[in-house]
Amino acid sequence: MVNFEINDKQYSAPDGTLIIQVADREHIAIPRFCYHPKLSIVASCRMCLVEVAKSPKPLPACATPVAEGMKIWTHSPCACDAQKSVMEFLLINHPLDCPICDQGGECELQDQALEYGKDVSRFTEGKRSVKDLDIGPLIKTDMTRCIHCTRCVRFGTEIAGMRELGATGRGEHMEIGTFLEQTVDSEVSGNVIDLCPVGALTSKPFHHKGRAWELQQVASIAPHDCVGSHVYVHTLRGEVMRVVPRQEDSINEVWISDRDRFSYSGLKSPDRLLKPLIKKNNEWVETDWDLALQFTIKSLQAILEKEGGRSVGALVSPSATLEECYLAQKWLRGMGISSIDHRLHRMDFSCDSGGPSPCPTFGLALTELENADTILLIGSHPRTEQPLINHRLAKAARKGAQIIMVNPIQYDFNFKVAAELTPSGGQLLHPLLGIMNALLSQKNERPHFAWLTPFLKNTVSTPEEKQVAEWLGRGNKKVAIFLGLQAQAHWHASALQLVAEALALFCQASLGYLTEGANSVGAWVSGVLPDQGPGGISLSEGKGLNAHSMVKTPLPAYVLFGGVEPEFDLANTVAARRALSESAFVVAFSPFRGGMCEQYAKVMLPIAAYTETEGTFINGEGRWQSFNAANPPPGEARPGWEVLRALTALCGGPGSLYSRSEEVRDELKHIVQNVPSVTLPSLEQRFRRIEPILSESKEGLRVVTEWPIYRVDSLVRRSKPLQDTAASPLFRARLNPKTASLYSIKGENKMRIRREGEFECILPVAVDKKIPENTVHIASALEGGGNMGQQGAVQVFLESNKDA
Amino acid sequence: MDNIVCFRTHHLNPPWSLQSYLKVGGYSAWKRILVDKVPRQTILASIKASALRGRGGAGFPTGVKWGFIKAELPGQKYVVCNSDEGEPGTFKDREILLMNPHQVIEGMCIAAYVMSATVGYNYIRGEFWEPYQRFEAALEEAKKEGLLGNNIFGSGFDFHLHTHLGAGAYICGEETALIESLEGKKGFPRYKPPFPATYGLYGKPTTVNNTETFACVPVILEKGAEWFLKLGVPGNGGTKIFSISGHVNKPGNYEAPLGISFQELLKKAGGVRQGHALKAVIPGGSSVPVLPAEVASTLNMDYESLAKAGSLLGAGSIIVMDETTCMVKVLARIAHFYTQESCGQCTPCREGAGWLWRIVHRITQGQGSLKDIELLEDVANKIMGRTICALGDAAAMPVLSFIQHFREEFVYYVQHGKSVVYSQRTSRSRKFLDYSGEVGGFISFG
Amino acid sequence: MLNWLKQFLKSIAFWELLKGMRVTGRHFFVKKITIQYPEEETPKSPRFKGLHALRKYPNGEERCIACKLCEAVCPAVCITIDSDESSDGTRRTTRYDIDLFKCIYCGFCEEACPVDAIVLTSQDKYCFENQGENIMTKEKLLAIGDQFEQEIAKDREADRSYR
């Protein structure tokens, strides 16, 4: 701790604290441009110059640490003169077109010019102008306005991990830009919009649309991943104009991903469902809510009476709010429907019969994650799946953590990965068993794991796996293990989960799940599972079908809640399409129409999208985060929980009538607090169940699918700016060159992929070295990708180009 | 007294070969240090005692600088030689590298030994292709001779020296920008503190010295600190290479003891052009304040005397101007240089240097007003002392000093739209004065 | 006695009455200021705040750049603007509505406008016959601007040195 004076007042701060940090803490205004608390310090804008006793020159507050007995004046004539002269220098080449600049009203230069600027310029020469760049559909540039603070450059290097923007040229010819003419493709690139103190980098979708001062700001939670980023939704006259980050240092710091920032464009899609619709003679007829709800209930009841409780399958979006999830399962179970599930990407549920499924949380707080020493990620590409988890991983890597990836294909990481295991044929289970085996042979003094040995009798560890085992097995280290989206969607998902559990137990590590959607934990908590009720209580009777079985054998009726589009969202889209089009009755609760829904649904009920409803998301840390609606839903759309409330009432179900959504949440909270603890069957017992999998053949070609970053839910899929980015992949089968040559396939060929009796599809080939052998990698949820079946073993054939 | 330190091989043919250097006693200090295992403190003490001061411009005592590096601390340390000589008027390092590269190598070796650095870099200016080749050849010779590399002379001391060719940026002569450039980044000066002695190349303790400084080191250790100190005046040990350019009969590099009088130095360079009178002198390269003839004539060329006279010794680059010189146009040329060479990182220099040049340029175009002279001074004062590195000061100092000493000339130019020297010029000097535009060889800038 | 006589003379001569009539008598002969509206009109200051208009540049390009400063400054909140990028990439309004029922004719919008787009003309004769006509849309405002451009320009010119 050192004591010092600022403006003749005594303060103290820990040694090494910068003057500007103390000033910010004490609310002493010091102007600044290049300084940002989350970025490195360059002290280049010189706006924060302050007078320090015994220093002949004014010193930059952002780079000068406080010292014992230091005397600082932030508004003395010397400091003010320095600050004013820097402002004059900044303004000589800055255009004064604030009225047409999107930053106007929230511009740091404008604000500070008011205090430190002159009203008349002494610079009579011509101003510098710089050519604009086209850096993609998300960020609008106006480089003449740039004041060269290099915040965006430092953001790219330090946070995004991609050096996409840089300064070229020298002196007054210095320009910020992409070195070559290219787009900025980082998954968190939008943050430069907030960082830019002037209007050089602004939001392209928001370009010229509104003014900062007229927007209404409502705090909300981002709806696309399990991080639960805090955001502000800015609306103008009931329309969402933009989404910006809300600082929460324990979750998203000051960043949000582009997906969370720009997905709002989907809210204005022409696909919005505005009125309840009923299909009559294959024509959609607008109707009123009463009729639509009555019709829904009657149709469902008729099928239930005829075919029994297992005849209706309900798929709930993992991004539906907690209240919606809870009321949905309450209504459905009240109707006698037990097949409820939110795990849409999943195809292997063999674990479910082995006892209650664990709550899919991270296992540790995000702030702890960046302090972990070893992190094992299984089947995960956090950069596209949870971009802000990726940021925490990058921070951990920078602090020296060993990060190990076990993935079906090689990915580009923007941090140092200690080891990346990409088994052939997407067989993620085998490297894990190899690591387990190496760990067991490493530490013989753990007799209570001896039972594992017979399971690993066929496993031989590779040197790489032994190395990973060594990193994992070091004592006194903080180890975190995560099962990513691809592990959960894997054909061995249950086995992977068990082995990961065993690894975690062995290494005394935390085990976490990086789940799909924003509210997977919430869906688990509220009982949107076929065999578990609210609070995760196992149901002894009335267990239903899981998401995969629901479509594997077609059911007579389906309920789709929260914008679920089975042709994109389910693991097996072929089966899903068949099942839905063959069913007698489908009701879709969705903010959107369009797509295949119009073909198979019988009733479409418009519900509010995420900014339009209040609710709660539980993020991966298990944090309950409630938010309010920012704008009213369009047309006759109603918040989902209100629709479900009305349905429950119409059914005369056991539910009381809730007047506010908080009552729903509190009811659930009460249930959760009183859940008795359950003991799972021993790991050994559960391992028996996967024994046949362990002896399965590793050979053969397998399809591995992955949901691309901007195809994860119905809202993102309708956001045009995001769809226009370079991150939107083409529908291609990607193959290793070796595998391709094995089947005499070349890059320009088309390929026929087939699984006997299930599906067949033809698609163009891309040869890619990053794909391991025996793997066909295909992006799911793409337009035209509906005829792709689930992951796993397939046969491929070269398709002659003539047919194509 | 001449050519005894940096240019001591000049009388040999060829002066740059290893044989020539060995002949004058080269590498003897290096061998002695390694064989006798001379303690680091002893070497440091003699460097300190020799009053050797940095020859790059700032004149910081070299011994003190080396002492900042704690040799006994573990970890990598670096020695970097700054041969990015870009200051207009300066051309001494070029000649040292061309004529006596081995002395620089030996100096760097000794510095590395003192600071227990095992890797050194010589950052040579991008345009110095010939000196670069000469230095590389010298490195090869030294390596072959076992003067560099691992376990030199069986002493257990390793030293690897590498050459790095710059890419033509003046700013990379600033030590932290040079370090950034060496690291492969853009040559942006770093904010100091931390100084390179604690956080330098790749974040490791680093010493950056000028070529001439390193070249002085072997001689000090060979002939003793006392000898070196006595060459110059108290506090200013040794000889210095003065690069004399401009309106003299024999422009070039002259090695002379520090503290030599300006008149004597001028005599060495053959005096001012026949029939012309001295008007002004820039005593240390374009970035230092100009001195009018009456001040310059009485000067002694050492750090303190020049500071007292209101200028700086800088790199000892003396630009001599006679009465045919238009000071406004000289300033325009200098201001243009700093506009082009500002790195663009910090605001006052990036925006201010260009502004200064535009104002002076406007005056030279006959479109200036008396207010512009005040504006010039004001803008220059707003740059001074407010930038990350000294380039801002370097851009501002000439402006302030030119106006301070030659205000009437600026006023005349503004009022008449032409230079005062045009009205006085003789037919003989007409050719020389045909100065077109802001770029061009009005004065030889080395 | 004397007073009595004075009073008597005054009353017999209707002195008070004459005194009272003096003002009337004077005004009887003075030049009249009454204006015969609508045949005649009083002169208006160039600063007169009448009906709103949106101006264009002489080349026909609309001046308004949708900066929304008028909307922000309007104390009666009678201006509603939507903006977007136009086909030529410039910032333009897609909607510019002024509710004349709310407007208090303070002229702040004109003061705030950085490009002299929104102006208050000297037009003071207008009326509404139907619901909704009180909303001046962008089209109406531009039409008014076109119609009275010469007059507007003259008024601005007359007032220029005071702004």
Residue with tokens 């509906």: A786
Residue B57 has pLDDT above 70, yes or no: yes
A29 CB within 8 Å of a chain C CB = no
CA C16 to chain centre: 45
Q: DSSP character for B139?
A: H
Contact C67 A208 (CB under 8 A): no
Residue written as tokens 């704008």? Answer: A631
Write the single-letter amino acid at A102.
D
* Distance in angstroms (rounded) separating the CA atoms of residues B372 and A444: 85
Letter string b/e over residues A635-657, b meaning 16 or more CB atoms within 10 A of that residue's CB: ebbbbbbbbbbbbbeebeeebee
B357 has a pLDDT exceeding 60: yes
* Residue A332 DSSP symbol: H
Please give the Cα distance from A640 to A15 (Å, whole number).
53
Rounded Cα gap, residues B148 and B139, in angstroms: 8
Whether the CB-CB separation of A794 and A702 falls below 8 Å is answered with yes
Structure tokens at A501: 């559990």
CB contact under 8 A, A169 and B186: no
Chain B (332-371) residues lying within 8 Å, Cβ to Cβ, of chain A: 339-348, 350-355, 358, 362
Per-residue pLDDT of A292-308, as tens digits, reads: 999 999 999 999 999 88
How many Å apart are CA B107 and CA C41, to the nearest integer? 98
Instruction: List pLDDT tens digits, range A94-139.
Output: 999 999 999 999 999 999 999 999 988 999 999 999 999 899 999 9
Cβ pair A429, A693 in contact under 8 A: yes
Give residue-wise pLDDT tens across range A181-192: 889 989 999 999
Region A564-571: mean pLDDT is 89
Contact status of A210 with chain C (Cβ, < 8 Å): yes
Of A150, A170, A173, which to mutate for an interface test with B (greatest number of B Cβ within 10 Å)?
A: A170
Q: What is the pLDDT of residue A459?
A: 85
Residues A514 and A484 sit within 8 Å (Cβ to Cβ): yes
Q: Output the six-digit token pair for A727.
A: 């991150």
- B233 beta partners: B236
Contact A372, A712 (CB under 8 A): no
Reported as a single tens digit per residue, the pLDDT across A609-623 is 989 999 999 999 999
Q: Given pLDDT bands bounded at 50, 70 and 90, which one contains residue A786?
A: low
Residue A155 CA to residue A165 CA, distance in Å, equals 9
The fraction of chain B above a pLDDT of 90, given in percent, is 80
Return left, alpha or beta for A652; rule: phi > 0 is left, psi -120 to 50 is alpha, else beta: left
- Whether B430 shows a pLDDT value over 60: the answer reads no
User: For tokens 């409780």, what's the residue?
Assistant: A309
Q: According to the 3-state scheme, what is the secondary structure of A396-428?
A: HHHCCCEEEEECCCCCCCCCCCCEEECCHHHCC
**What is the predicted pLDDT for the residue at A455?**
84
C44: its two tokens? 């208006």
Round to whole Å and give the CA distance between C128 and A184. 54
User: Does the ipTM exceed 0.85?
Assistant: yes
**Percent of chain B clearing pLDDT 70 (strictly above):** 94
> What is the SS3 assignment for A603?
strand
How large is the average pLDDT for residues B224-252? 91
Chain centroid to CA B55? 6
Assess contact for A586 and A602: CB atoms under 8 A: yes
CB A65 within 8 A of CB A17: yes
- Quote the minimal CA–CA distance from A160 to chain B in Å: 19
Q: Average pLDDT of chain B?
A: 90
Work out the mean pLDDT of chain A and round it to a whole number: 90
Q: Per DSSP, what are the bridge partners of residue A702?
A: A775, A793
DSSP state letter for C87: T
User: Which residue among A99, A208, A209 sits closest to C69, beta carbon to beta carbon?
Assistant: A99
DSSP alpha helix (H) spans, A104-226: 108-116, 151-155, 191-195
- Return the pLDDT at A272: 93
Strand partners, A761: A753
Averaged pLDDT, A27-32: 94
Position A804 confidence tier, pLDDT thresholds 50, 70, 90? very low
Residue-level pLDDT at B43: 94
Is the pLDDT at A260 greater than 90? The verdict is yes
Question: Could A214 and C85 be called an inter-chain contact, meaning their C-beta atoms sit closer than 8 Å?
Answer: no
- Per-residue pLDDT of A506-536, as tens digits, reads 888 999 999 999 999 999 999 999 989 898 8
Q: What pLDDT is attached to residue B441? A: 36
Contact A632, A609 (CB under 8 A): no
**What pLDDT is stored for residue A750 in this prediction?**
85
What is the predicted pLDDT for the residue at B421? 86
**Mean pLDDT across the stretch A440-468?**
82
Q: Is the pLDDT reported for residue A728 higher than 80?
A: no
Q: Do chains A and C touch (3 or more CB pairs under 8 A)?
A: yes
Mean pLDDT of chain C: 92
At residue A532, the 3 state secondary structure works out as strand
| CB C152 within 8 Å of CB C119 | yes
Other CB atoms closer than 10 Å to residue B327's CB: what's the count?
24
For residues A363-368, give the mean pLDDT.
Answer: 92
pLDDT exceeds 50 at position A601? yes
pLDDT tens, B61-92? 999 999 999 888 889 999 999 999 999 999 99
The residue of chain A nearest to residue B393, with distances taken between CA atoms, is A57
User: What is the structure's pLDDT at A444?
Assistant: 62
- Nearest residue of A to residue C94 by CA position? A209
Pairwise CA distance, residues C61 & A136, whole Å: 30
Contact (CB<8Å) A100/C84:
no
Among chain C residues, the shortest Cα distance to A239 is held by C82
The reply to whether residue A208 touches residue C114, judged by beta carbons under 8 angstroms, is: no
Q: What tens digit of pLDDT does each residue of A664-704 get?
A: 999 999 999 988 877 777 888 888 888 888 878 888 889 99
Structural contact between residues A234 and A243, judged by C-beta atoms closer than 8 angstroms:
yes
Closest Cα in chain A to C77: A214
Average pLDDT over residues A714-729: 89
Please tell me the distance from the alpha carbon of residue A279 to that of residue A294, in angstroms, as a whole number. Answer: 14
Ramachandran sector of residue B238 (left: φ over 0; alpha: ψ -120 to 50; beta: rest): left
Q: What is the mean pLDDT of residues B149-176?
A: 92
* B234 Cα to chain A: minimum distance (Å): 27
Contact (CB<8Å) B346/A173: no
The answer, for B122 touching chain A at a CB cutoff of 8 Å, is: no
Alpha carbon separation from A611 to A638, A680, B156, B212 (Å, rounded): 12, 39, 70, 69
pLDDT band at B277 (very low <50, low <70, confident <90, very high): very high
φ, ψ dihedrals at A372, nearest 5°: -70, 155
| pLDDT tens digits along B315-350 | 999 999 999 999 999 999 999 999 999 999 999 999
Structure token digits, residue A542:
């009335």
Which residue in B191, B344, B387 is closest to A171 by CB distance?
Answer: B344
The confidence band for B188, taking pLDDT boundaries of 50, 70 and 90, is very high
Nearest CB to B351; choose among A82, A89, A150:
A89
Q: Is A214 on the interface with C (CB under 8 A)?
A: yes
CA–CA separation, C132 and A65 (whole Å):
64
Predicted local confidence at residue B438, as pLDDT: 39
Backbone angles phi, psi at B253, to 5 degrees: -90, 135
- Is it the case that residue B446 has pLDDT exceeding 70? no
CB pair distance less than 8 Å for C114 and A211: no
For the CA atoms of C147, C152, C154, C160, the dihedral, rounded to the nearest 10 degrees, stands at: -160
User: Do C and B touch, counting CB pairs below 8 Å (3 needed)?
Assistant: no
Residue B194: is the preceding peptide bond cis (ω within 30°)?
A: yes
Burial class (CB in 10 A: 0-12, 13-18, 19+), B149: middle
Which pLDDT tens digit goes with each residue over A532-544?
989 888 887 778 8
CA atoms of A173 and A177, how far apart (whole Å): 12
Query: What does the pLDDT look like over A132-162, one tens digit per residue?
Result: 989 999 999 999 999 999 999 999 999 999 8
**Cross-chain residue pair C66–A209, CB shorter than 8 Å:** no
